[in-house]
Amino acid sequence: MAAQLDLQATQAVAIRDVAMADLASLIAIETACFETDRLSKRSFLYWIKAVNRVFLVAYKGETIVGYGLVIMRKGTGLARLYSIAIAPDYAGQGIGRALMEALEKATLLAGKLFLRLEVETTNKSAIGLYQSLGYKIFGDYQGYYENNRDAFRMQKSIKQASAVKLLPSYPWYAQTTDFTCGPAALMMAMASLESATEMDQQLEFDIWREATTVFMMAGHGGCHPLGLALSAKHRGFNVAVYINQALPLFTSGVRQDVKKQTVELVEQQFLQRAQQHQIPISFEDFDLHDLKQALKNGSKVLSLISTYQMDGYKVPHWVTITALDDECFYLHDPSVPEHHAAGFDCQHIPVALDDFMKLSSYGKTKLRTALVISKASLQEQ
């Protein structure tokens, strides 16, 4: 990032990228501005050194008078305003607005499409500023802050500010283990179709036991698309499955023969049971039109993705597709990344349509699989 963004808050205030020498000033501003939910010295050090962020400071002469921090999620078009603060002696001078504009410009240059934030519902001046910049409220968090106050969730399309989309209400659930992304994703889809679905750890583990491949490359086995389909069918939902290759799907990284044979047996059992329950299985690649049409028809979609695009690890991972528009798919990710606020960055994550096709291809065989889930009709019930 350029040291000077050539953006001015006022004629006497400039904005640049953060430097390690700014640490003491940042802590002083944080202490002066916030009684709770403060960033610690350790957090400031982490984000100063991090690469997945935009971190700018406003300065007047030799004095740091404010800062803004945006964090970004690899592999998606989503960024989040993590914190912004202006020293009290410099409030009301337009510095906050200029910082926001600079943060948006730098975030867009980093390839992100959307910027999100949360703001206390009673902070009328901040809400007014964000709304004047084009941010729209699309949800809220009850008891979000340490003082138990509520927060609005706001979003802006920084690429096309006039095209902010209204995101749908869609339940979100955080997986409680490293290996239960599949159950968590399925639970979100089922709860979206049937509000009486109770998303809890008991259901999470029940589905995992029903759908697991038993073994993976290491540790506990993940969930098979046919296993998840059977779990959904067992709970009264209709489900169709796309798999772009023949079974087995998850044996290439399993080194021990006995484990590989176990996975192959489990997959064949899933296939036989899915056929017995007349679950439609398409052994072909889905395309964007298939998923778009399913969502437009009111169905819910689960997709397996490779987390390599997000965190550098080649791990299969289930997500729920919550919405789409002309530019992006939106994902509910049940996994909460380290250093991110619980849940906020994992809901309605925008992924450009072309990028999604890369994201949804896993492993050397480029496995692509998805589930389309819908409510059963009264006749079927």
Q: Are 71 and 307 in contact (CB under 8 A)?
A: no
Fold topology of 181-375: Cathepsin B; Chain A (3.90.70)
- Cα–Cα distance measured from residue 46 to residue 42, given in angstroms and rounded to the nearest whole number: 6
**DSSP-assigned letters across all residues of 310-356:** HHS---EEEEEEEEE-SSEEEEE-S---TTS-TTGGGSSEEEEHHHH
Looking at residue 160, its pLDDT comes to 53
Q: Which CATH class is domain 4-163?
A: alpha beta
- Cα–Cα distance measured from residue 64 to residue 95, given in angstroms and rounded to the nearest whole number: 11
**Structural domain boundaries of the chain?**
4-163, 181-375
Phi/psi for 41 (5° steps) reads: -60, -40
pLDDT digit string (tens) for the chain, length 381 residues: 333 344 444 456 899 999 999 999 999 999 999 988 999 999 999 999 999 999 999 999 999 999 999 999 887 888 999 999 999 999 999 999 999 999 999 999 998 888 999 999 999 999 999 999 989 888 888 888 888 889 998 988 787 543 334 567 899 999 999 999 999 999 999 999 999 999 999 999 999 999 999 876 666 788 999 999 999 999 999 999 999 999 999 877 777 888 889 889 999 999 999 999 999 999 999 888 889 899 999 999 999 998 766 665 668 899 999 988 877 888 999 998 765 555 667 888 888 888 888 889 888 889 999 999 999 874 465
**pTM of the full structure:** 0.72
